[in-house]
Structure 1
Amino acid sequence: MLMKKIQRVEKLYKEFLSFRERFLKEAMELATVTQTAILTGEAYRPIVIVPPEKFLQFESDIELWAKYAFNLEQLATDVKQFGAAKRLFYPFPKLITNASNVTYYTNEASAQQTRTVKAALRQLTVAVRSARTHQPPEQLEQVLDGLNKDREILSSLPPETVLICRRTGYNDLYCSYETPDASGRVVTRVSSNGAFFDGREVTEIKLAEKAQTNKTSFYDQLTPLPIKMYGGCKVYLEHEAKALKEHLKGTKQERRIQSRVKRAAKQAAERAAARRAREEAEAAAPTPPVNDIE
C-alpha cells in the first residue's frame, strides 16, 4: 500500500517537473524583464506581458500549477519519504489582471537561517566527504584545510549554540502597478516562478525611477565567525545578535526619554522667557493718572 503511494507521488512529481520546465521555458521566451542568478548566471524571475492570444493558455496553466501543488502536498502528508522542495511550486506564478502603469525595480535583500553547532558539524562532515570525492586533487588540500579550521571553531562552542547564517549581496525584483480596486499603487514581489500581466491591458513595463539606497543593518556592528563552509553566508552567534538588539532597543528608548526631557526643558524655558517679557512690558508701561474724588 505504501509502495503504491510512493510510486503515485513520484509519478505526479515527475509530471509536474516536466510541466514546470515547459511553462517556465515559454515564460522566459516571452519575458520583458528577468533577473540573473548570481551563482549560475541563468535568467530567472520573469515578468511577462502575456500576448492576448496566449492569455487563456497561461490562465489554464497557472490553474493546473496550483492543482499539482495541492495534490502533491496532500500526498506528501501520507508519504513521509517524499522530499520534494516546496520552493519548486510555491509561490504560484502570479497572473495579474486589470493593471495599468506597470513599473519594476529592485531592492537590496538578505536571507538568513538558523542552525545549532551540532547540526553544523554534521553538515561539515558531509562537506568533507563530498570534497574528498569531487574536489580536484590540486585543490583538495586547501579545501580540507579550510574545513578543518571551521571544525576547530565549531568544536570550541557548546553543541546547542545557535548560529545565524546570513546571506546578502543580492536583489529582490518587484512590480508596481495601478488597479481600479486599489486606492494607491500595488506592489508585488516577483518570485522565481514569475509574474504575468494581461497583454490586453498592459503593453509595456517601465523601469521605475527609484533611487537605490545603501541599507545598513545592525549585523554590521557584529563580528562574524570566520567560517567558510557556507559560501557567501556570514555566520553569527544568535545570543550575540539578541544581546545587541536589546542594547540598541535600550539605547533607542534612552534617546527617546532624553529627547522628551530636552523638549520639556526647552518649552519650560520658552514659557519662562515669555513670562519675563510680559512682566517687563507691564513694568515699563506708564501709570495712568488718578482723578481726585471730592
Structure 2
Amino acid sequence: MEKGNNTGVPDFLLLGVSEDPELQPFIFGLFLSMYLVTVLGNLLIILATISDSHLHTPMYFFLCNLSFVDICFTSTTIPKMLVNIQTQSKAVTYGGCISQMYFFTLFVGLDNFLLAVMAYDRYVAICHPLHYTAVMTPQLCGLLVLVCWILSVLHALLQSLMVLHLSFPTHLEIPHFFCELNQVVQLACSDTFFNDVVMYFALVLLVTCPLAGILYSYSKIVSSICAISSAQGKYKAFSTCASHLSVVSLFYCTVLGVYLSSAVSQNSRSTATASLMYTVVTPMLNPFIYSLRYKDIKSAPRRLLGSTPGKESVDPPQ
C-alpha cells in the first residue's frame, strides 16, 4: 500500500472536547482563561527566579526550567484548539499535526525528566546537606538539564519519524483536541505493529526509570526526615520537598490514569477529556503549588520592588 501522505495530503480533523455548538463559547472562554493563567503564572516564576539573586540556586534553576517547559507544553495544544473554536474549523494540516505531535511528545518528556532531576536535587539537599554545594554545582545542573533535552528531543524525533512512514486515509477524524501520538497511530490504515512496540517500550522505559528514581529519592528523604530529632527540623525539611511531591503526584497520577483507562476503555472521547488533566490542569496548578509552598518566591516581588529587605532562606542548603 502506498503511503497516504504520498498519494495525497490527508485531511485531518480535530473533533475537540465536545461537538455541541452551544458549549463552544463556554469551552473557548474556559480554556482561554486557563491558558492565560498557566502562561502568566509560570512566567512570573521565571522572571522572579532570573531577577532575584536570592533565587539563583539549583532548586529554583530547575523550577525555572520546569515553568518554561510547562508554558511550551500548553502552547502546543491550547492555542490551536482556541483557533479552531473561534474559526469554527476543525481542520489541521498533515504537517501541522506531525509538528504538534513532535512538540507535545518533546515537552511531556521534558516534564517527566525534570521532575526526576528535581527529586535528585531534593535528595542531595536533605540527605547530604554538607556536600550539597559540592555536588550540585552549576556545571552539573546545566548538564542534567542538557541531558533531559537531548533524551526528549531524540525520543520525540523517533516517534514522529515513525509516524511519517504510516499510511493514512485522505479524510481522518481524530477524537481529540490535539494530535496525540497514540490516537493518530491507531487511526492509520497501514500496519502499526512496529510503531506500537516502540511507543510502548519507550513509554515504559522513559516513565519507569524517572519514576523509579523519584521513588528511590523520596524513600531516602523520608528516612532522613524521620531521623531528625526536632519537630521544627522535620517540618523545614519536609516543606522543601512537599510542593515537588505534590506536582509529581498530580502529573504521574493523571498521565498513568489516562493511559491505563485508554487501555481498558475504547471510548476515545472520554480519553480526550481525561487528557485535559495533565495537558492543561497540571501546568496551570504548578505555579500555585510552588508559590504557596516556597516563601522565597512569594517574597521575590516585594524584594524586587524594595518594599521588604531580602531575607535569608530557611530551607536546607540550596
Global fold match (TM > 0.5): no
Q: Could you tell me the TM-score, scaled by structure 2's length? A: 0.25
Between Structure 1 and Structure 2, the one with more helix by share is 2
Rg bigger for which structure?
1
Q: Which structure's relative contact order is higher, taking Cα pairs within 8 Å and 6+ residues apart?
A: 2
